[in-house]
Amino acid sequence: MRVLFVCLGNICRSPLAEGIARTYYKEHIFDSAGTGAWHVGQPPCMRSQIIAKKKGIDISTLKARQVSVDDIGAWDKVVAMDSKNLADLKAMGFENAQMLLDTDVPDPYYFDNDEKMDEIYEMIKGGIDRLLA
């Protein structure tokens, strides 16, 4: 199975999801992207790198990219981190786009500190486990 994780800038939630999925579900192919282009080429944010490293996952070499129409049809599942990302994906023509969870995964980019990162990790990990189980 080929799975693309999508968030807003591809520096917080979706690269964390990609790293988690690659670590625990090696039999599948994963990538991540953002609906926006602000951070293209940048590594994941430090908050996501730190929580990933704390859990034994290295996402430091990932680089942000923007989702494109070339991704349509290339992925079995296109998984949005929140309802705004899902709406953007649907508007682009991704018929197979779905939410990771029944609720939005909060965007750590807007956090004042790192205290909620364990919760974000567990939300994403749980969603991936349900998605791929």
Q: Measured between alpha carbons, how far is 86 from 104 in angstroms, rounded to an integer? A: 10
Which residues are known catalytic residues? 7, 13, 107
Q: What are the DSSP E strand ranges found in the chain?
A: 2-7, 29-34, 77-80, 97-99
Amino acid, res. 70: D
Q: Per residue in 76-115, pLDDT tens?
A: 999 999 999 999 999 999 999 999 999 999 998 877 777 7
CATH architecture of structural domain 2-132: 3-Layer(aba) Sandwich (3.40)
Structure tokens at 77: 């599942």
Q: Can you give the pTM of this predicted structure?
A: 0.96
